[in-house]
Amino acid sequence: MKHLGENHQKNIVAIIPARLASTRLANKLLLEIGGKPLILHTLAQAKKAKNIHGVIVATDSEEILRVINESGNEAVLTSANHQSGSDRLAEVAETLPENSIIVNVQGDEPMISPNAIDLTIEAILDDENADIATTCEKIKNAEDVLNPNIVKVVLDENDYALYFSRSPIPFPRDAVNKFGSLEDALINKPGLISLYRKHTGLYVYRREYLLKFTKLAQTKLEKTEMLEQLRALENGAKIKVVETTESSIGVDTPEDLENVRFILENRESKI
């Protein structure tokens, strides 16, 4: 790593926004996997990242606060009125030293890769022009390209984000003209799928940019696509994107929960 000395000078803190309410899977962060709440699996993965100096859970729930404190980890009770995880993050970031690096780890990702966290931290430390660093991974099938719940990201030649969208971007015009639809183009020319990248939800911010970002008004594109990161792009932010090969699974549904349970419990049984 190029700037090892700088890593030691920076205060690098992972903050896990942990709201108790969830629409598709009630109280999901407290559901048990392998005998302990989901949120503790996420926290344990974040603590494995070599570049992180501390992990704080930012929650609106007394129950989550108690679970984290009883596990010997650090949690902060934040306002219940935040509109987004970024706002909850910023409340905690306000209390941290200037020039800190803030890592936003989604609470519902108990399989998040510590290596992906480290690579994303290194990306922002090695690029003074980057306000934010985030992650993406290759899309491997046509269904994900066409799925509006899978957010696509397009990069420039220097791996900065040009745009994020729920639509399939880029659009292969000639292939679609030839085969009649994007779906048929992807079926008949599966190599086109290699054009697409899925945006994944790990973010690393410079503290001062995070505090600025959360004070910005929502933008038209953000409201249209319902993607918060578009607010940053529309206001001129430089977002460095790191491609990772280690997939994480966000737990949003009962099926996701059972999938993660199966993987983690089988992994532990082999150790």
| CB-neighbour burial class of residue 157 (10 A; exposed 0-12, middle 13-18, buried 19+) | exposed
CATH fold label, 4-246: Spore Coat Polysaccharide Biosynthesis Protein SpsA; Chain A (3.90.550)
Q: What is the pLDDT of residues 158-216, one digit of tens each?
A: 999 999 999 999 999 999 999 999 999 999 999 999 999 999 989 999 999 999 999 99
Give the count of alpha carbons within 13 A of 188, CB side only: 13
Q: What single-letter DSSP state applies at residue 33? A: E
Whether the per-residue pLDDT at 258 is higher than 70: the answer is: yes
What b/e sequence results for 73-82 when a residue is b if at least 16 CB atoms lie within 10 Å of its CB, and e otherwise? bebeebeeeb
Tens-digit pLDDT profile for residues 59-102:
999 999 999 999 999 999 998 888 888 999 999 999 999 999 99
CA dihedral 27, 249, 142, 161 (to 10 degrees): 100
- pLDDT tens per residue across span 201-213: 899 999 999 999 9
pLDDT at residue 67, rounded to an integer: 97
Name the band, by pLDDT with cuts 50, 70 and 90, for residue 4: very low
| CA 16 – CA 119 distance, rounded (Å) | 18
pLDDT bin (cut points 50, 70, 90) of residue 18 is: very high
On whether the pTM is more than 0.85, the answer is yes
Domain ranges of the chain: 4-246
Helical H segments across the chain, by residue range: 4-9, 38-47, 62-70, 85-93, 114-125, 142-146, 173-179, 182-188, 207-213, 220-225, 229-234, 254-270
pLDDT-wise least confident of 17-26, 33-42, 220-229: 17-26
